[in-house]
Amino acid sequence: MKKWLGGLAGVVMLVLPTLTYAQTVITVDPMLNKFQWQQPLPPADGSATPDSFRFQCGTVSKGGIPYVTGQTTFETLINNIVTGPGSYDCNVRAVNEAGESGPSNTVSILIQQMYQLLVQKIGQGTVTSSPSGITCGATCNASFAENSQVVLTAAPAAGWKFKGWTGDCTGTATTCTVTVNAAKSVTARFLGVPASPTNLTTK
């Protein structure tokens, strides 16, 4: 029969902005948006071996995260545990048929509401964004955190000029700032510049 499980080592969670804790033992790129934690190897006789893990994030409980024999470092995407925007206090427990371990340390995460910004073009030119995400041409929509201030910059192609913005940007300046507090859509208009007439010399 499996024995009651001992405690877990610290759970490590890094998101943007990067959160650090004194008990951090694993380094992870925050852009990967993952939980990582450690589970010590069980005794050699196989007792107290986990079957799985369970996360508790506020009122959200998510179990069935597999334990892999012989592995001590585990990870799962945060979106596998919680998906809705908000602040969550999270810990992880090991689980087997005898019950659950005590919880790991608790970490706080913030999942921000994201909204899409869509750029459309009329004519020839490019539109880029700061923060990065849109390079239109190729990529004309991106998601940004709620209330982000996104600066769009229009650059006409050779033989074209920038006419102006419509939609959630207005004006004729080549830059425009959009507050992304909902889904937003912007159109950039470019006009072709007529070729200069050729001077003809008659004899």
Question: Which pLDDT value is given to residue 72?
Answer: 84
- pLDDT above 90 covers what percent of the chain? 41
Distance CA 90, CA 59 (A): 10
Q: What is the pLDDT of residues 79-114, one digit of tens each?
A: 888 888 888 888 888 888 888 888 887 888 888 888
Q: What pLDDT, in 10s, does the model give residues 127-153?
A: 999 999 999 999 999 998 889 999 999
CB 119 within 8 Å of CB 113:
no
* Measured distance CA(192)–CA(29) in Å, rounded: 45
**Given this chain, do its domains 11-111 and 114-192 carry the same CATH topology?**
yes
Task: Specify the CATH number of the domain 114-192.
Answer: 2.60.40
The class (CATH top level) of 11-111 is: mainly beta
The pLDDT score that the predictor gives to residue 17 is 26
The full set of domain ranges for the chain reads 11-111, 114-192
Mean pLDDT of 58-74: 91
Whole-number Cα distances in Å, 5 to 49, 57, 65, 71, 97: 7, 21, 16, 16, 10
- In 3D, which of 112, 114, 122 has the Cα closest to residue 184? 114
Residue 154's identity, in one-letter code, is A
Is the pTM higher than 0.75? The answer reads: no
pLDDT at 199 over 60: no
The pLDDT assigned to 184 comes to 97
